[in-house]
A and B are shown apart, each in its own frame.
Chain A
Amino acid sequence: MSSVLQGSGNTRQIAKQGAIRIDDVVKIYDPDGAAVMAVDHCSLDIPAGEICMIVGPSGCGKTTLLNAIAGFHSITSGKIFLDGKLLCGPGKPQADPGSDRIVVFQNGALFPWKTNIDNVAFGPLMQGKMGKKEIYEKARSMMADAGLSGTENNYPGEVSSGLRRRVEIVRALMNDPKVLLFDEPYRALDSLTKSVMHEALLEIYYKNKVTIFFITHDLEEAIFLGHKLVIMTTRPCKPKKIIDVDIPHPRDYSVLTSPRFRQLMDETVELVHEEAKKSFASGEKEG
């Protein structure tokens, strides 16, 4: 395990890169003349190496924010920076997608027509930065590290959903990304698998220096994983409250029964519930 940094009762990985600054971002969808505000003057600072959990009801606009960082969508106004460099802002409404920020998708996006190892090798192969042999050696050893030996030549459709998620994270890490963007990746998993995936994710995080931007509507997941909890208002979306989770890392599942965890749950559950009710009342769709 790499060394960890003590800071304000909260331990963060040493990561020199991967700080995200979201500065006054607005996103208005205008599909048929009726403007819908998805993100409303949202500002947020995520230091390098932090696990930042974005919590809000389904359809509140969290994914819009993630898509803006990843470069899948444009923003209407405001700026987003990565390590002080402008990703998108005035004059450049849409960021270029790149291997420094990799998304792990809600329903998983491993290519079903490629074997697991071909999936893992995909990024470096496309970028053409390394030799093919070297790439496959690295892929093999990274998969072994993540407990995926023996599944290299299987197709994603042949392994369990939990293993698929893990392959997808390894595929991202192959590119040494600065930021991992998770779009409710564990939503479709049963709670048993989910708990295993959480521990596995933390294990991977402790080994790799990345910033994690993680969208979820599962409060327990958010507190268990995150350094910071950002509770979002329902559409239009902006931070309603930011909470520091002062449970020291490395964490394991015993954290769930600790008094501090319960206390944080109690503090936040009401806030989230309020937004969920608003979202329900306004009849937001899933997404």
Chain B
Amino acid sequence: MDQINALLKRAMPFQMVGPDVLASIAGLAKWESHAKGDVIYQIGDEADDIYLVSSGSVQHTLRGNNGAGALERPMHSGDVFGWAAVMEDQARLATTVCLERTELVRINGAALINLLKSSPTIGDVVMSRFATLITREFGVSSAVAEKVRRLPQGARSTAEFKVETKVETKVETATPTGLTLTMFRLSQWISSPKPYLMLIGFALLLGFWYFSVTVWKLPRFQDLPGLTVVVKELFSQDPVYGLSIYTPEYYQHIWVSVQRVAIAFLLATVLGVPLGLFLGWSKKFREYVFPVFELLRPIPILAWVPLAILMFRGTETPVIFLVFLASFFATALNTMLGVESIDESYSRAAYCLGANKWQVFREVITPGAMPFIFTGLQISVGVAWFSLVAGEMVSGAFGLGYVINTSYTMVRYPTIVIGMITLGVVGYTTSALVRFGGDYMMQWRVREQALGGN
């Protein structure tokens, strides 16, 4: 069944269909196998079924257009023909002959239309994609293509319809690229309940904060800075404690912290990924290094603070060192696990195909570990942010960690919360950037998951 699903998903008219509807369409499909020379149907036959080519090839000969010669076109795996079955006249416009041994999937046109009626939004998209397919790929005039049947206009609202057509124009270009898929997912996300659930989650958190501190003044909560106080401070042109989005210091703190995290994170990636790859790849190297690595890894970053100050001069390097350290362990460990996760048959296959050890490292180990590496980088960028506070205790006059520390000693509680919220937002953004980078570099994964839906 997954085979039919995969085939449908590749076929132009069904590319936008979600997994549920796709599964029902797959339920209508029948396999058939033909020998070379078999005639599937001829011009004028009654058009009942549409066909998808699974393997092999079929010669599709369209009736000449107003005296013009017949249009011949070979159809290969993933191509769709027999679309007259979803048109109004229901008579074949072409003759199709198998060029070799060919496997086809056959779907009854009337049953398909019935099925699509039950989910009209996506149904319309499928039907209009059929029309596009007919004009664009077969060069049939749009007057003929307009005979593709319309689904009855039901309860569908016009707004809903607009969203769908917008999506359609985006993805109409031949094969979906990573970007269009990401955009498609984004539009799906917005039309799903997820973002609204997310908003409810935030509302609950803020509501709890507001009521427990400001309204009910619960025992241990009453001394905390309240939601209204913090928001007022954050958006005040003249903040009581000296820090709001209107003060230039605010951005200077963010900028200094971002710089430190960026340098530390890049260093950790540049050193951690190769170390992790070698740890996973070479058993001998691992025996030397891994025990030391595992001994150092659990030591909290705060414990490194005194040594960092002793080791490095100035104010900047100790902080960067501390942030780097935390990031580095997360990256290296996940990369190593990534290498271990690679199925042995991949490297064996590469050796069989004549690759040498370095080629296997470059072509199999590195890309194979990539999904884990990016998971590691996401963890690592998060860890970098929370070790920043420890690092910025050490030094300097700027940085979000510094803001939180000094505000504590100077009893500026609302400013502490402003610092915390800013850390959260900036941290989330960097983590999203890493994920985005991962998707960009691993299009194979984005596409696979778009199909598998996991």
Residues on A lying within 8 angstroms of B by beta carbon are: 70-72, 97-99, 101-103, 105-107, 109, 111-115, 122-123, 126-127, 147-151, 153-155, 157-163, 166, 171-172, 175, 192-193, 196, 199-200, 203
| Pair B368/A113 contact, Cβ less than 8 Å | yes
A111 touches B54 (CB 8 A): no
Interface 1/0 per residue, B311-355 and A, CB below 8 Å: 000000000000000000000000000000001011011111111
B110: CB under 8 A from chain A? no
Question: Knowing A123-B353, A153-B175 touch, does A113 contact B370 (C-beta < 8 A)?
Answer: yes
B77, A149: Cβ atoms under 8 Å? yes
Interface pair A193/B346, CB less than 8 Å apart: no
**Cα distance, A97 to B351, chains bound together (Å):** 6
Across the interface, B353 reaches (CB within 8 A) one of A106, A126, A166, namely A126
User: What is the chain A residue whose CB lies nearest that of B353?
Assistant: A123
Q: What are 10 contact pairs spanning A and B, CB under 8 A?
A: A97-B351, A97-B352, A103-B352, A105-B345, A105-B348, A122-B350, A123-B353, A147-B76, A192-B31, A196-B33
Say whether A158 contacts B448, CB under 8 Å. Answer: yes
Chain A residue numbers with a CB within 8 Å of B3 are 160-162, 193
Residues in B8-27 with C-beta less than 8 Å from chain A: 9-10
Instruction: Answer yes or no: B7 CB below 8 A from chain A CBs.
Output: yes
**Inter-chain contacts of B445 with A (CB < 8 A):** 112-113
Residue from B7, B348, B367, B443 having most chain A Cβ neighbours under 10 A: B348
B359 interface residue per 8 A CB criterion: yes
Question: Which residue on chain B has the smallest CB distance to residue A97?
Answer: B351
Cβ-defined contact, B348 with A159, below 8 A = no
- A157 and B452: CB pair below 8 A? yes
Residues of chain B within 8 A (CB-CB) of A203 are 101
- In the bound complex, residues from chain B placing their C-beta under 8 Å from that of A147 are 55-57, 76-77, 100-102
The 10 tightest CB contacts between A and B, nearest first, are A157-B448, A160-B3, A123-B353, A150-B76, A109-B349, A109-B345, A97-B351, A99-B354, A126-B355, A149-B76
Check B79 for interface membership: any CB of A closer than 8 A: yes
The smallest C-beta distance from B306 to any residue of chain A, in angstroms, reads 44
Q: Which residues of A contact B359 (CB under 8 A)?
A: 126
A268 to chain B, nearest CB (A): 28
B444 interfacial contact with A, CB 8 Å: yes
Q: How far is the CA of A97 from the CA of B347 in the complex (A)?
A: 11
Q: Which residues of B contact A71 (CB under 8 A)?
A: 351
**Nearest chain-A residue to B356 (Cβ)?**
A126
Chain B residues near A148 (CB-CB < 8 A): 55, 77
Chain B, 42-73, CB within 8 A of any chain A CB: 54-57
Q: Does B103 contact A (CB under 8 A)?
A: yes
A residues in contact with B76, CB < 8 Å: 147, 149-150
Smallest CB–CB gap between A28 and chain B, Å? 21
In the complex, what distance in Å separates the CA atom of A160 from the CA atom of B445?
Answer: 16
B442 within 8 A of A: yes
Could you say which residues of chain A place their CB within 8 Å of the CB of B223?
A: none
Q: Does B287 contact A (CB under 8 A)?
A: no
Contact at A158–B2, with CB atoms within 8 Å?
no
**In the complex, what distance in Å separates the CA atom of A200 from the CA atom of B350?**
24
Q: Are the CB atoms of A101 and B350 closer together than 8 Å?
A: no
B354 to A149, Cβ gap below 8 A?
no
Residues on B with C-beta less than 8 A from A99 are: 352-354
Q: Does B447 lie at the interface of the complex (its beta carbon under 8 Å from any beta carbon of A)?
A: yes
Q: Is the CB of B101 within 8 A of A199?
A: yes
A172 to B78, CA, bound (A): 24
Across the interface, which residues of A come within 8 angstroms of B353, CB to CB?
A: 99, 102, 122-123, 126-127, 171-172, 175
Query: How far, in angstroms, from A101 to B10 measured CA to CA in the complex?
Result: 34
**Binary CB contact string for chain B from 101 to 127 against chain A (1 if under 8 A, 0 otherwise):** 111000000000000000000000000
Choose among B57, B343, B354 the residue that contacts A175 (Cβ–Cβ < 8 A).
B354
Residue among A112, A123, A153 making CB contact with B448, cutoff 8 Å: A112
Which residues of B in the span 347-393 have a Cβ within 8 Å of any Cβ on A? 348-356, 359, 363-364, 367-368, 370
> Which residues from B are CB-within-8-Å of A160?
2-4, 6-7, 54
- B451 interface residue per 8 A CB criterion: yes
Per-residue 0/1 for B221-258: is the Cβ within 8 Å of any A Cβ (1 yes, 0 no)? 00000000000000000000000000000000000000
Selected from B348, B364, B368, the residue in CB contact (under 8 A) with A72 is B348
Asked whether B77 lies within 8 Å of A113 as measured between CB atoms, the reply is no
Contacts of B356 in A (CB 8 A): 126
**CA A150 – CA B78 in complex, angstroms?**
7
Name the residue among B33, B100, B364, B444 with the largest chain A CB count within 10 angstroms: B444
Q: Which positions 433-454 of chain B face chain A at CB distance < 8 Å? A: 442-445, 447-448, 451-452
Q: List which B393-452 residues lie within 8 A (CB) of chain A.
A: 442-445, 447-448, 451-452
Are A166 and B346 neighbours in the complex by a CB distance under 8 Å? Answer: no
Report B-chain residues with C-beta under 8 Å of the C-beta of A127.
Answer: 353-354
